[in-house]
Amino acid sequence: MMVEKKKTLSDEKPSSELKRIRSFVLRQGRMTAAQKKAIDEHWFEYVLEVGQGMINPERVFNRTGPLVLEIGFGNGDSLTKMMKENPEKNYLGVEVHRPGVGSLIKKTVENNYSNLKVYCDDAVLVMQNCIPDNSLDCVQVFFPDPWHKKKHKKRRLVQEEFVNLTASKLKSDGKFHLATDWQDYAEQMMKVVSEDEKFINTSGEGQYSERPETRALTKFESRGQRLGHDMWDLIFSKV
């Protein structure tokens, strides 16, 4: 006799899975028991859904404060460190991979942080449907998938349309912070953001920035540095 497996929140897929050309691929990564437990027990405490529509940040966080959106937070190590060091800021994290979401929720619960909400969905859909215009103090995109093959470069997240969308969501003088370890992608980022008249490079025209202390060094980045990989940070300010 076959028994139907009960579906849990950790088994669900982002609502964007069948929509348009995406900048990500959903990998069926292994979810640990701790990550699954964090999702199943704390999903409704920390996770927002695209279907809930436009948010009111003050109501979502039950307080006012600078609002930071991080796209693609991976396992959440860097974002967890930023939450600890900047308790006055409110953080919205977007990540399509559920093990990463589970990892971040687990760390947030363990440290009793209250300045985080998460979307497990396509960042473009989140920005279009959930983030009010002129509401963000910073948008962070650290080490997005480089799609390094020529035929796949159209799938890169940082394209003209995404830059325009980001500008519409940032407050005046809000920061757009990008980082990558792929020189070709760094050059594309520099070109496409520099060509948008709504942004100005905080380090000077065509110049890359030093990694600021506000961007925590990730395990991924530390490993890359040990292997001799270069890193590029780009920080722009909305005019």
Phi-psi map region of 138: left, alpha, beta (phi>0 left; psi -120 to 50 alpha): beta
**CATH number for domain 29-238, candidates 3.40.50.150, 3.40.630.40, 1.10.3470.10, 1.10.357.10:** 3.40.50.150
Domain boundaries, the chain: 29-238
Tell me, rounded to whole angstroms, the distance of Cα 95 from its chain centroid: 6
Eight-state DSSP code of residue 143: S
157-172: burial string, b at 16+ Cβ within 10 Å, e else? bbbeebbebbbbbbee
Coil/strand/helix, residue 231: coil
Give 57-110 pLDDT, tens digit per residue. Answer: 999 999 999 999 999 999 998 899 999 999 999 999 999 999 999 999 999 999
> 105: how many CB neighbours lie within 10 A of its CB?
25
Q: Pairing between strand 90-94 and 67-71?
A: parallel
pTM (2 d.p.): 0.86
Among all residues, which ones are annotated catalytic? 145
